[in-house]
């Protein structure tokens, strides 16, 4: 009888818009959409320069914070020079908790060798390295804003270098040469704004243009 009365009391308070002390607050969640476009070095050099009106205290590592209209203009200019959509990914993050998006491939390479009868070096042990882009997000919902802690990790294969084989003096083996970059930003955006980040092209890699859109979602 008491449990039935308690349930009725909770329902009555909820109907009146009064929070019951024992009730659990709904989870605050953020949907993050990451759209990445890729352009060759010559395509990126053909882009028209755009001046985005942003504050002088632009967050470090972030190219711009755009309105939806500015983002649409930037996407149109990228498509005009032939940039292609490399990936579009969505992830749900709890407010204040980290979520990540990875666009990588595992590159496997030998780390140890042994000498064979025909004087060649034979791989005996391997390691793998993630090559591509890893993005980590910690969004926190505020009053009409989203505070975002953003980390972008870029790792590319630049080529191979000739290294001495420790197991066979006088011989050499090829080892991969990686280039790694990491950018961190803490920024506050109003809902509807798009975080825009660009990484320039190199002789070995294409330019990347990343559009990050966030919105609050209801608990399922």
Using alpha carbons, select from 129, 91, 97 the residue that is nearest to residue 110. 129
The mean pLDDT value of the chain amounts to: 79
Residue 6 has pLDDT above 60, yes or no: no
For the chain, the domains span 27-217
pTM: 0.74
Q: What is the mean pLDDT of residues 161-178?
A: 74
Q: Which helix (H) or strand (E) holds 28?
A: none
Tell me how far the alpha carbon of residue 137 is from its chain's centroid: 7
| Pair 208, 37: CB distance under 8 Å | yes
What per-residue confidence (pLDDT) applies to 31?
94
Q: Let me know the angle formed at the C-alpha of 135 by 133 and 138, rounded to the nearest 5 degrees.
A: 175
Q: What is the mean pLDDT of residues 156-169?
A: 75
Per-residue pLDDT tens over the stretch 64-76: 888 899 899 889 9
Q: What is the mean pLDDT of residues 179-189?
A: 88
Burial class (CB in 10 A: 0-12, 13-18, 19+), 212: buried
Distance from C-alpha of 82 to C-alpha of 73, rounded to nearest angstrom: 15
């Amino acid at each position: 009888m008491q449990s039935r009365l308690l349930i009725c009391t909770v329902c009555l308070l909820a109907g009146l818009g009064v929070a019951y002390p024992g009730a659990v607050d709904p989870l605050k969640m953020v949907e993050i959409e990451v759209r990445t476009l890729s352009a060759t070095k010559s395509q990126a050099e053909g882009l028209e320069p755009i001046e985005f009106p942003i504050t002088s205290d632009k967050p470090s590592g972030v190219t711009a914070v755009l309105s939806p209209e500015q983002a649409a203009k930037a996407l149109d200019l990228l498509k005009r020079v032939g940039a292609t959509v490399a990936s579009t990914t969505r992830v749900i993050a709890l407010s204040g908790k980290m979520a990540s998006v990875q666009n990588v491939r595992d590159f496997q390479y030998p780390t140890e060798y042994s000498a064979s009868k025909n004087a060649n070096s034979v791989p005996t042990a391997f390691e793998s390295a993630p090559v591509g882009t890893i993005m980590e997000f910690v969004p926190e919902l505020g009053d009409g804003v989203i505070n975002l802690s953003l980390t972008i990790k870029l790792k590319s294969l630049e080529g191979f270098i000739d290294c001495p084989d420790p197991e066979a003096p006088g011989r050499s083996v090829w080892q991969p040469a990686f280039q790694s970059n990491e950018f961190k930003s803490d920024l506050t955006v109003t809902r509807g704004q798009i975080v825009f980040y660009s990484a320039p092209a190199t002789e070995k890699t294409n330019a990347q243009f990343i559009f990050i859109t966030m919105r609050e979602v209801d608990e399922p």
